[in-house]
Amino acid sequence: MNPGEKLQQQKKIKELNVSRPKKTGGILAGFLALAIIVIVVLFVLLQQELSLNTNQTSGLTQAAEDVTSLADEADGFEDVLAIRGLAFDFAIKNRFDYVPVFEEGNIPTESSEYLFFAFIINLDNWGDDKGVMTKEYVEQVAKEYFNAQNINHGSMRKGWNFDGEKYTAVPSSVSEPPIYVLEKYETYQQDGLTVYALTMSRYTMGGIIPSDDDMKTIRQNIIADDLSKLDLVETEIFKFYFDDKNDFDKENDMVVFLSHTLKE
């Protein structure tokens, strides 16, 4: 090969090397594209997870508020079955089974009407003083829950002894949380207040004391309008309003009973 031909061949090889894509650069570009795809997928999944967690948290918060405040959730519900679960919880929280029976405008003034209600409504907070209530505490409960004034204090036969300053329980048992079924729900305005009128039927579980699991099942059955395993005791009507104490905190709202009557 003469020098001219050799030079011409070297020139062709050089041109070939310039036009051929470099393998290393292609690999890096592929890795970069794959990394971008992975980042995008992870971002989308993260957004979905955050959205799911937010929805779950909102749902749990709403569920807690539903149980706490019947006043807010009852507004707008027309179907009794839709709020039977809330009414069931509400009757337990406010121990409807111990609310004294009285006509509207005829608030009881005898302490014996309030003693067991005052005791049971604070059952979980007595500590070492369980079974002892001061006169002032009974008056406070009567005033806050019933707007009762000028209570006449005295002992209650087979219930509570009174020494002039405090009440001491006579050893006995208290009722388990009640089973109430909402039959009718109404609201109306009275003296600038929203009054709630609940017609509630009280049931028992055939003389058996229900366990916590039983109560959960009973609640579900009540919502489904299945009362086949319950025995009717009586039907009662409760009228009340909510006192917000002017602090706009729903957690502090106090139920004030206007009447509790038995339906004939």
Q: pLDDT tens for residues 184-217?
A: 999 999 999 999 999 999 999 988 999 999 999 9
* Residue 231: CB atoms within 10 Å: 12
| Average pLDDT in the chain | 78
- Asked whether residue 24 carries a pLDDT value surpassing 60, the answer given is no
Give the pLDDT score at 205.
94
Give the containing element (helix H, strand E) for 23. Answer: helix 23-68
Summarize the confidence of residues 43-56 as an average pLDDT: 41
pLDDT at 60 over 50: no
Other beta carbons within 10 angstroms of residue 228's beta carbon come to: 5
Given a cut of 50, whether residue 34 has pLDDT beyond it is: yes
Residue type, 198: L
pLDDT band at 249 (very low <50, low <70, confident <90, very high): low
The residues near 207 (Cβ < 8 Å, ≥ 6 apart) are: 231
Question: Quick check: 50 pLDDT over 80?
Answer: no
State the amino acid at position 177 in one-letter form: P
Element containing residue 237 per DSSP (H, E): strand 231-243
What is the spatial distance between Cα 226 and Cα 70, in angstroms, rounded to a whole number? 22
Res. 264 pLDDT band, cuts 50 70 90:
confident
135-161 CB burial, b ≥16 within 10 A, e <16: beebbebbeebbebeebeeebbeeebe
Q: What are phi and psi of 65, to 5 degrees?
A: -65, -35
Answer for the pair 229, 205: CB distance below 8 angstroms, yes or no: yes
Angstrom distance (rounded) from CA 142 to CA 115: 9
